[in-house]
A and B are shown apart, each in its own frame.
Chain A
Amino acid sequence: MSVTKPSSQGLRAWLLADTPTSRRHAKLSVVYQSWLSFKGNHMAMFGLGILLFLVVIAAAAPLLAPQDPFIQDLSERLLPPGSEGYILGSDSLGRDILSRLLYGSRITLYIVTLVAIIAPIAGLFVGTVAGYAGGWADVILMRITDIFLAFPRLVLALAFVAALGAGIENAVLAISLTAWPPYARIARAETLTIRGSDYINAVRLQGAGPLRIITKHIWPLCISSLVVRVTLDMAGIILAAAGLGFLGLGAQPPSPEWGAMISEGRKFILDHWWVATMPGLAIFTVSLAFNLLGDGLRDVLDPKEGKS
């Protein structure tokens, strides 16, 4: 079996080989097998497709958008969908809704990515340290977590944004601050079951310190359940961001953030339904995509199911 140049048919066999020949080979083959089982889940693939589509749209927004999302034309205001030059209609200031949606996808992705990086990492860190250290460290860290969990998410985020000032960056910070406690709980629960297991005892018997055990042995096993939880929470994060935007505490006008767009459309919702509906549909689609993806990832990544 050659490591250097596998042909396309040979590549598949190479990736599915029972006896990997190098570290890289073994890693790639694990990734490929997970991909195969993920590919079998059609709903998850559908969700992934929508999200890839969203990324492409966000990247190519300047090319795709028919108009500038900020240019106002009061003579063309509140045109219904299908009007000439305004496929999805125009809003109260005569801006093209389609263009604003396309540019708004960038803001949505920006918020979602930042929160998805900050919150789980903070939660993973707090949870694994609390779970592994035990004793007072556990008590203190978990009571702090409980305090954060005691507030309804949006209310706490509102309080943070009110204290920090409105804006996308502060919205991201506020949502992250309210989103990490569940991850800390999951990570702690996983750590508690893992830390007493024989394979952790076995590395301890090789003289490994707590830092190595947490980062190299416990984290890899916690990450899969966190990834699943993050994708399932993603819809909630988008909605929280949209909610902050709707309340005027997230992205500020004229920024085309989807929640803020709904908020603007609220005034006309009875006579001009499309102004609020179009961004609502966009939020709905992306949230649904993340939920489908999360379900599929759970099937693939959950170490408790299938092969251990």
Chain B
Amino acid sequence: MSEILIEDLNVWFGEYEERVDAVKGASLSVSKGGSFGLVGESGSGKSTILRAIMGLAPTWDGRMEVGGEPLGPKRSRTFYRKVQMVFQDPYASLHPRHSVDQVLSETLSLHGFKDIDTRITKLLDDVGLGPSFRFRYPHQLSGGQRQRVAIARALAPEPEVLLLDEPTSALDVSVQAEILNLLTDLRDEHSLTYLMVSHDLAVVGHICSDIAVMQLGEIVETLTIDDMRAMRTQHSYTKHLLESSLLGAKLA
């Protein structure tokens, strides 16, 4: 049974002449405990799908289900305990005036946890940050450390599903690998389901078992990671994407 099910999803911004269709008729399903990657170039609507699931893109139609429950126009607090998201840019996703402690304790208290102190220590430990980071402010942290804090915040309500919006694209290459390893470790520890957006096929290949390729708001092809590695593609755009990615890897 699928943990995330999306059928014929349309998302648009603006009305009438200014209407821009960001996602057109997208369908995908992610099995429980699975990892699904959405790839495509900038502006192809990958992140918009994640935002629509989280309720951050208000104008959509179609069908979305998480854990068998259909999603309406509003998300409940129980939904946010189950599904969490990690944002792309760790420099923009942490409040500049809130310390790590404030970020995590507010999150925990919003979800109604009581043993906040022990949970903060545990969360920081889970994402590989020691207790010495607890009272630091974002400007005292590096990009990788910030992203670890953002991941800790997403893990705080003990979610079952984690949506990852290019979690490594704003980071250095060496730090990228650390964060990716952290994400795979966390998935195994907490039996999480991942839906990940990336334009980097190597990153997706590291984490995901299935991918969907998006172009101009439409999912043009869905394939397994083995198919991707063996270049068994149906659609010309997928082939083009894979080839340019291989070329990029050779050049680098």
Residues of chain A at the chain B interface (Cβ within 8 Å): 18-23, 25-26, 30, 197-199, 201-208, 216-217, 220-221, 303, 307-308
Check if B135 sits within 8 Å of A199, measured CB to CB: no
For the complex of A and B, 3 pairs with smallest distance between CB atoms? A20-B135, A26-B135, A198-B93
For the complex, give the distance between the alpha carbons of A204 and B76 in Å. Answer: 11
Partner of B96, one of A26, A208, A303: A303
Check if B150 sits within 8 Å of A202, measured CB to CB: yes
Interface centre among A30, A201, A206 (most CB of B within 10 A): A206
The range of chain B's interface size is: 35 or more
Q: A23-B135, A198-B89 are in contact. Are A207 and B96 (CB under 8 A)?
A: no
Check if B99 sits within 8 Å of A26, measured CB to CB: yes
Question: Which residues on B sit within 8 Å (CB–CB) of A204?
Answer: 56
Check if B96 sits within 8 Å of A308, measured CB to CB: yes
Check if B87 sits within 8 Å of A201, measured CB to CB: yes
Task: Identify the closest chain B residue to A26 (Cβ).
Answer: B135
Task: Identify the closest chain B residue to A223 (Cβ).
Answer: B97
Name 10 A/B residue pairs within 8 A (Cβ), A-sorted. A21-B135, A205-B54, A205-B80, A205-B84, A206-B80, A207-B76, A207-B77, A221-B97, A303-B96, A303-B97
Question: Which residues on B sit within 8 Å (CB–CB) of A22?
Answer: 135
Question: Which residues on B sit within 8 Å (CB–CB) of A30?
Answer: 137
Check if A198 sits within 8 Å of B92, measured CB to CB: yes
Check if A199 sits within 8 Å of B92, measured CB to CB: yes
Interface centre among A22, A23, A25, A198 (most CB of B within 10 A): A198
Q: Does B136 contact A (CB under 8 A)?
A: yes
Check if B80 sits within 8 Å of A199, measured CB to CB: no
Contact digits for B83-123, partner A, Cβ 8 Å, 1 yes 0 no: 01101110111111111010000110011000000000000
For the complex, give the distance between the alpha carbons of A198 and B87 in Å. Answer: 7
Check if A19 sits within 8 Å of B136, measured CB to CB: yes
Check if B136 sits within 8 Å of A26, measured CB to CB: yes
Q: A197-B92, A206-B111 are in contact. Are A25 and B135 (CB under 8 A)?
A: yes
Partner of A202, one of B137, B138, B153: B153
Question: Which residues on A sit within 8 Å (CB–CB) of B98?
Answer: 217
Check if B107 sits within 8 Å of A206, measured CB to CB: yes
The B contact surface, by secondary structure, is loop
Q: Does B157 contact A (CB under 8 A)?
A: yes
For the complex, give the distance between the alpha carbons of A22 and B117 in Å. Answer: 12
Q: Does B132 contact A (CB under 8 A)?
A: yes
Question: Which residues on A sit within 8 Å (CB–CB) of B54?
Answer: 205
Check if A202 sits within 8 Å of B96, measured CB to CB: no
Interface centre among A19, A20, A21, A207 (most CB of B within 10 A): A207
Check if A207 sits within 8 Å of B87, measured CB to CB: no
Q: Does B139 contact A (CB under 8 A)?
A: yes
Partner of B140, one of A18, A198, A201: A18
For the complex, give the distance between the alpha carbons of A199 and B95 in Å. Answer: 5
Q: Separation in Å of the B86 CB from the closest CB of chain A?
A: 9
For the complex, give the distance between the alpha carbons of A30 and B99 in Å. Answer: 10
Question: Which residues on A sit within 8 Å (CB–CB) of B99?
Answer: 20, 23, 26
Please give 15 more A-B residue pairs, beta carbons under 8 A apart, in addition to A21-B135, A206-B153.
Answer: A18-B136, A30-B137, A202-B87, A202-B150, A202-B153, A203-B106, A205-B56, A205-B85, A206-B157, A216-B106, A217-B95, A220-B97, A221-B96, A308-B91, A308-B96
For the complex, give the distance between the alpha carbons of A199 and B137 in Å. Answer: 14
Q: Separation in Å of the A20 CB from the closest CB of chain B?
A: 4
For the complex, give the distance between the alpha carbons of A205 and B79 in Å. Answer: 9
Question: Which residues on A sit within 8 Å (CB–CB) of B80?
Answer: 205-207
Q: Separation in Å of the B151 CB from the closest CB of chain A?
A: 12
Question: Which residues on A sit within 8 Å (CB–CB) of B140?
Answer: 18
Question: Which residues on B sit within 8 Å (CB–CB) of A197?
Answer: 92
Task: Identify the closest chain A residue to B165 (Cβ).
Answer: A198
Check if B153 sits within 8 Å of A26, measured CB to CB: no
Check if B56 sits within 8 Å of A201, measured CB to CB: yes
For the complex, give the distance between the alpha carbons of A215 and B61 in Å. Answer: 33
For the complex, give the distance between the alpha carbons of A197 and B98 in Å. Answer: 15
Question: Which residues on B sit within 8 Å (CB–CB) of A216?
Answer: 106
Check if B110 sits within 8 Å of A206, measured CB to CB: yes
For the complex, give the distance between the alpha carbons of A205 and B75 in Å. Answer: 9
Task: Identify the closest chain A residue to B85 (Cβ).
Answer: A205
Q: Separation in Å of the B234 CB from the closest CB of chain A?
A: 35
Task: Identify the closest chain A residue to B79 (Cβ).
Answer: A207
Check if B95 sits within 8 Å of A207, measured CB to CB: no
Question: Which residues on A sit within 8 Å (CB–CB) of B56?
Answer: 201, 204-205
Question: Which residues on B sit within 8 Å (CB–CB) of A18?
Answer: 136, 140
Q: Separation in Å of the B140 CB from the closest CB of chain A?
A: 7
Question: Which residues on A sit within 8 Å (CB–CB) of B92?
Answer: 197-199
Q: Separation in Å of the A225 CB from the closest CB of chain B?
A: 13
Question: Which residues on B sit within 8 Å (CB–CB) of A23?
Answer: 99, 101, 135
Q: Separation in Å of the A202 CB from the closest CB of chain B?
A: 5
Question: Which residues on A sit within 8 Å (CB–CB) of B91?
Answer: 308
For the complex, give the distance between the alpha carbons of A61 and B249 in Å. Answer: 77
